[in-house]
Amino acid sequence: MRRSDTIKCGLERMPNRSLLYATGMPKRAMDKPFIGIATSFTDLIPGHMGMRDLERFIENGVHSGGGYPFLFGVPGVCDGIAMGHSGMHYSLASRELIADMVETVAEAHHLDGLVLLTNCDKITPGMLMAAARLNIPSIVVTAGPMLGGHYKGRRLNLTSDTFEAVGKFKKGLIKKDELQALEMCACPGAGSCQGMYTANTMACLTEVLGMSLPGSATVPAVMAEKRRIAFESGFRIVELIKKNIAPRMILTKRAFENAIMADMALGGSTNTALHIPAIAHEAGVNLPLETFDVISRKTPHLTNMIPGGQHYMEDLDMAGGIPAVLKRLRPMLKENMTVSGLGIRKIAQMAEIFDEDVIRPLDKAYHKEGGIAVLKGNLAPMGAVVKQTAVAQSAMKFEGTARVFDSEETAMKAIIDGKIVAGDVVVIRYEGPKGGPGMREMLSPTSAIAGLGLSESVALITDGRFSGGTRGPCIGHISPEAMEGGPIAIVRNGDRISIDIPGRKVDLLISAQEIEDRLKTWKKPLPKIRHGYLAKYAKLVSSAASGAIMGD
């Protein structure tokens, strides 16, 4: 018996069938598996605007496999467009909305399986959370990365050539005509932003988790191969239903550990420290934040992707994609099943590596350790994260003077106005999951710092988070956050702060007694947003240290 039989079988379901026929469904399709295609198509997001095309190919694949497809929509937020203003409050919070919406549609209509069409930052983890929660046959199709832009023979990308260009222009390093040209040329068309930012990191990890077909993560959005992957995914979901292969059979602890290992090798976005634990939680797998650091210490960094390096997603794809990365990691990979029907080690074995510099051997790694480090100390008792492979060697240990701001906007104004100087530690607080609310990304401040040439001489710490495009000594996810009365709430201008990435420490250089005395006098401020979805979100969301998940 299929799930969809509940809504279409028996005399008492005559009204249900009548409504289904009203959609145009032919009578002969009533006996087929009902496949939901959750599409996050929107004209607002470059990474999603090409999905109308992929929807067709998924539908064709479902029909060819013997199922009947139903498309339904979920919302999407473009982090780049939402960046630097109040819209970013909604980005992380949208992850929970997406998971809830997919759950709602799939359960209300008793769908037999799901194809999840996604691409950008919070949409992919939201859909994976729903798949793990529902535990019905599911397969993910990521729409693919954007090709690099070009200007005067130089290849361009979003972070270096738009966000960081703001600081360069303020410093007089580039002229207005070049600034305008970069604005037009950096993002040439459809696809998720070109480097190992959050969207592409999550696409890569979805493939490693075994929830998408091999090659899905890195094939550019505009390529014919992406259409073929969409078709094969639609065809494959029918097979998964026939064999009753559900997500929790794939999303095991081994799968999550493999994904974190790949994340470290790729030098992925720090946002994975929120998303992977949240997906694991839905799958019933306990995955503490410390797991990232344990795996990072023994996983070499094998790819030098922008923003920290020079390679683009199209380079990674031409070098062999994620299967080729897995081939490098195969000695450490743990066997696990995937939606393709192949085990993850078999996929690694079959892969070819076409560029030894884009995907380096283990003994010639770019860094001995992986991309993310987890720091603790009196400033972050529950932990904080940094993308250590995007930090210059000279800044791996940093001591400086605190410059404290209670919002991103006030910090950004000080940076642009030239009030931040070498030796400063910019502290941006009340931007955590509860305090933001929504844990905004700080790409605008970090990019402005980089554009001003201060990425090795100025540090930034925050209870907010960072885009995958951030580089430099930028410590995020400080937990407990300021709104929960964490120690970051009592930092004062002029305090000294020590960051020791190799030693995994971040400390406020005052006495334990002084910290205790300041915390006693701290008063919780009023919430920044007191109405609507974000007010509800702030009341229910957990700490960044546990993935910023919503309470049950």
Give the distance from CA 29 to its chain's centroid: 37
Tell me, yes or no, if 467 is annotated catalytic: yes
Q: Which tokens in the block code for residue 241?
A: 């239903």
Report CA-CA distances (Å) from 59 to 50, 210, 481. Answer: 15, 22, 45
Instruction: Write the DSSP symbol of residue 159.
Output: I
Report CA-CA distances (Å) from 220 to 25, 65, 135, 148, 301. Answer: 34, 25, 29, 10, 23
Q: 387 has which bridge partners? A: 372
Q: How many CB atoms lie within 10 A of CB 464?
A: 30
Catalytically annotated residue among 40, 447, 467, 546:
467
Pairing of strands 34-39, 113-118: parallel
CA 379 – CA 515 distance, rounded (Å):
10
- Reduce the DSSP state of residue 400 to 3 states and report it: strand
CA 530 – CA 51 distance, rounded (Å):
35
Q: Which residues in the chain land under pLDDT 50?
A: none
CA 221 – CA 271 distance, rounded (Å):
22
Closest CA to 315 of 353, 346, 350, 260: 353
CATH of 372-546, one of 3.30.43.10, 3.50.30.80, 3.10.20.30, 3.40.50.2300: 3.50.30.80
**Cβ–Cβ < 8 Å for 428, 417:** no
Q: CATH homologous superfamily of domain 32-147+189-350?
A: Response regulator (3.40.50.2300)
Predicted confidence at residue 376, as pLDDT, reads 97
In what helix (H) or strand (E) does residue 349 lie, and over which residues does it extend? helix 344-350
Predicted confidence at residue 447, as pLDDT, reads 85
CA 127 – CA 36 distance, rounded (Å):
12
- Reduce the DSSP state of residue 188 to 3 states and report it: coil
Tell me: the pLDDT tens digits for 389-421? 889 999 999 999 999 999 999 999 999 999 999
Pairing of strands 459-462, 424-428: parallel
Q: How many CB atoms lie within 10 A of CB 514?
A: 12
- CA-based angle 355:54:211, to the nearest 5? 60
Contacts of 342 (CB under 8 A, 6+ apart): 214, 350
Q: Which tokens in the block code for residue 247?
A: 């997500």
Q: What share of the chain is helix, strand, coil (3-state, %, to 5)?
A: 45, 15, 40
Q: What percent of the chain has pLDDT over 70?
A: 100
Burial class (CB in 10 A: 0-12, 13-18, 19+), 422: exposed
How do the domains of the chain map onto residue ranges?
A: 32-147+189-350, 150-187, 372-546
Q: Which tokens in the block code for residue 3?
A: 């799930």
**Cβ–Cβ < 8 Å for 213, 340:** yes
Pairing of strands 496-500, 154-156: unpaired
- CA-based angle 347:353:357, to the nearest 5? 135
| Whether the domain at 32-147+189-350 and the domain at 372-546 fall into the same CATH topology | no
Pairing of strands 397-405, 496-500: antiparallel
Predicted confidence at residue 552, as pLDDT, reads 62
3-class secondary structure for 488-542? HHHCCCCCEEEEECCCCEEEECCCHHHHHHHHHHCCCCCCCCCCHHHHHHHHHEC
